[in-house]
Amino acid sequence: MADPGRVHAVILTTQRTGSSSLVECLASHPDIECAREILEGQPDDLSHVYRGPFRRVAKLYRILRTGAWRPTHRIESYFAGGAAKVRMFKVMYNQLERPFALKYLLKHDDVRIIHLRRRNLLKVHVSTLLMPKRRELQATAPVEPIRIHVDPARAIESMRKAKARYELYEKIFERHPRITLAYESLFNGQDLQPETSRRICEFLGVEPRPMLSTLVKVNPESLREIVTNYDELFAALAKTEFAATVERMPAGTGAAAAKALGV
């Protein structure tokens, strides 16, 4: 029989939103047990997950070993484990495209939802493009930046899809108790910002505590340091609904780029 005083929750999100750092922060609270992507076969704790050349084989093995190929069973067994007041895990949008996982969460509308997004969808897109170029997606110390060319049309298409997906899942879980968080207001260095920490603890029904992650940002804050064709990208986005997401260029630079592209 379920403990009526226990809280079950999920972090609902997509890639490159700071969710790994948020998981670490929440797991540092003594009354919260927070796992990563259990529906991808990841363990109940935060032990290291192999990302070497055979990572796809390792992932398949984890899915079979943990029972993640049966989402309902995996979620139920996870929520039944542990001893903390709050038991939660991270789930990505694409993992809810598996009907049984989504069906479980819709049936259990007492599961609390922390819906995490990143307002700057261009940074989500660029960071996602960089993922295959890095062996490790998270780091505990600064790493060398990687530069990349970004196709403007594909970026705009990706950003529109991401916006629509977020709005879709807001609608899907409208009956659940939920709060929305944005990457941009999550962290102060490696700590959760005090106001964000307070909101989360209040939502989950635990005492406010400082919460810390060991992870650091792997990409520079400025896209100018990453995107090799930033001027072209700036000019293309300037005539879309995402104009506010691009960093302003020095006077005259943006105008020249825009003129070249017919903006």
Give yes or no for residue 249 having a pLDDT over 60.
no
Calpha distance 32→101 (Å, rounded): 22
Average pLDDT, the chain: 88
Q: What is the pLDDT of residues 6-60, one digit of tens each?
A: 999 999 999 989 999 999 999 999 999 999 999 999 999 988 777 677 778 888 9
Q: What is the pLDDT of residues 118-171, one digit of tens each?
A: 999 999 999 999 988 876 667 777 778 889 999 999 999 999 999 999 999 999
Give yes or no for residue 246 having a pLDDT over 50.
yes
Calpha distance 87→27 (Å, rounded): 10
Q: Torsions phi, psi of 65, nearest 5?
A: -70, -40
Residues 90, 138 contacting (CB under 8 angstroms): no
Calpha distance 257→261 (Å, rounded): 7
Kindly report the length of the chain: 263
Of 251, 203, 87, 228, which is closest to residue 147 (Cα–Cα)? 228
Pairing of strands 187-188, 191-192: antiparallel
Please state which of the four CATH numbers 3.40.1350, 3.40.50, 1.10.20, 1.10.10 is assigned to the domain occupying 7-121+171-219.
Answer: 3.40.50
Calpha distance 186→115 (Å, rounded): 12
| Amino acid identity, position 40 | E
Instruction: State residue 137's pLDDT score.
Output: 67
Q: How far is CA 237 from CA 45, 73, 195, 219, 241, in A?
A: 41, 44, 32, 21, 8
